[in-house]
Structure formats: C-alpha cells, structure tokens
Amino acid sequence: MNRLILATLIVLCSAWSAAPAAASMPPPLPAPAASFNSGSLHVDVYGTAGKSALVFIPGLTCGPWVWSREISQFAANHAIYALTLPGFNGQPALSDHLFQTVSADFWKLMETKNIQRPIVVGHSLGGTLGFLLAEQHPDRLRAIVAVDGLPIYPGQEQQTPAQRQEGALRMSSMLSSISSAQQFEAAEKTYSLPYLITAQNDIDAAAALVAKSDPKGVAAWLTEDLTIDLRPSLKDITVPVLEILPYDPNLDGKAPLPFASAAMKQAYYASLLANDTSATLQVIEPSRHFIMYDQPQKLDDALEAFIRAQQ
C-alpha cells in the first residue's frame, strides 16, 4: 500500500503531518572495501570475503544508505554487495528497459565476481526486482527477502495493462517536471516521505539523500514499476521467499487502500503472492514503508532469523 501512496501523493499533494515519534535514522555507511560499476549498476562491497553473500537492493530514489544499519550488522559474517540502481543516489539514469537491463547486469555481476547463490534483500522497488531475479534463475539464488516490495504495484492488480500504462505516464510526467534537487527535496519532504516514514527527523534526513536522485530517472523507474506484473511467473520461484510488510494503524486505515487490521493487510499481500508457494509473510508494526527507520530492531531480527535459516 505505501508504495501506491508514494505515487498518489505526487498527484494529490495532500496536507498531512506525521505522528510524533523518536528518530531512528540509520548510522552512516562504513567505508566499502571496493566500489565499481557493473554495467548499469554501481556496486559497493562490504563484509568478509569468502563468507555467504548478501545482495542489498534499495528502493525508488534510494541508495545503499537506506541499508546502512543492516550492512554494518551483517558485515562480520557475510560478503555484502550493496547495489545502486541507475538514476538513484547520483548514478546516471536510463530512460527505458530498466528491469530488463538491470536484471541482465545483475547476472553479469554474479558471473564476473563469482558470487555463488546470494540471498537478495530488496526494499520496495528492490523487492520487486528480487522477485524478477528469482523468477529468472532461482537456481542461482539462495533466497530472497522483499521488504514491502511486491510482484505488482499494489492497487494496480485489477487494472488492465492499458490502464496501468496511462496512470504511469501521468505520474511520471509530474516527476519529470521537477527541475532541481532543491525542488525534489521539498516535494519529498512535504508530500511523499511523511507517508513512508514516521519521525520528522528521519523524514528531513532522508529527503536530503533522496534529492541526490535524478527525477527523470525516478520517473522512468516509476513508469516501469507501475506497469510490470510478475505474478504469472511467481510459480517458477523455487527458493524461499520472505515478504516483510509494515502496518501502521494511523495510516493503513485510510484511503487509498484501507486496512482495518494488520491481518487484513497481510491477507491482501498474500493474494498478490498467491502463485508463489514458497513465500511466507511477516508483519512488522507499528511501521510505515521504511521499516529500517521506524522499526530497525524488529527488521534486523526478522532478517537475522531468515538468513540463519538458509545457511
């Protein structure tokens, strides 16, 4: 639901203030052991070489900074590859064929760096990409974790492809009209992030980081994310999948997709994952879309338990 709000806010520009909460912005990223480009992907390497591999993929507008706490926590026992997608966090943007290009570059990265059966952990758009990768080559992955990422953009499942395309072009054209980082930061701080993060200090800090992304590159990703539907091929996934979803009673009970309880929201997510018999779902509450900010310890505990179970 929260990713749909991100898009609808661009149109609605609703006035709303976040409920007070203690800030929990993740710590700064540690210095990477290596940084390089692999096709369209920027890769930062952390952790312990030779250990089991984790690949962290951020969501729309974000860079590895969104995973900084998790990178620090898991670095002692894993080789970590933190990806930055094109158009985000200062990286050059692509205009089209994003899922196709990035997934191809991901498999090239796995081959050239001899990364064996990693666990892919993706947030939002990164979670959607995780589903695509698991459909393409499940034998080359150990498992995937989607943190509020789904095989179809929530709220779009009843629309025709033409309807999804029309809505995507409308949303992306508004994003493309943003002409400066300052304008982008102000829009995110005012209209989007208050629905995705609870604490105002976190919202302010994240907005400055989000503004490093290219609005036109973000618009291109949003266009593809709003139109892609990976549900038919979920049946091809043969590795364990963990879907972690947030629930905030102060937000999830409101339009556009009201859920009166966490159980109702979980049932909705389960319906979108019905073709994937390997998927399990776990609710973390109270939290909004950026669970790593709102409930960092609960998220890390869930990741730790799932990753340990795959060893």
Domains of the chain, earliest start first: 2-309 (3.40.50.1820)
Structure letter (DSSP) for residue 229: B
Render pLDDT for 194-228 as a digit per residue (tens, 0 to 9): 999 999 999 999 999 999 999 999 999 999 999 99
How far is it, in rounded angstroms, from Cα 208 to Cα 221? 20
pLDDT band for position 249 (50/70/90)?
Answer: very high
- Give the C-alpha separation, 200 to 23, whole Å: 7
Give the pLDDT band of residue 258 (cuts 50, 70, 90).
confident
Report H helices in 13-158.
68-74, 98-112, 125-136
For 212-246, b/e burial (b = at least 16 CB within 10 A) is bbbbbbbbbbbbbbbbbebbebbeebebbbbbbbb
- pLDDT higher than 80, residue 234: yes
Q: Mutual orientation of helices 98-112 and 125-136 as an angle, nearest 10°?
A: 60
State the Cα–Cα distance between residues 64 and 43, nearest whole angstrom. 9
Q: Report residue 158's pLDDT band, with 50, 70 and 90 as the boundaries.
A: confident
Q: What is the pLDDT of residue 257?
A: 66
The pTM for the full model equals 0.91
What's residue 179's pLDDT? 83
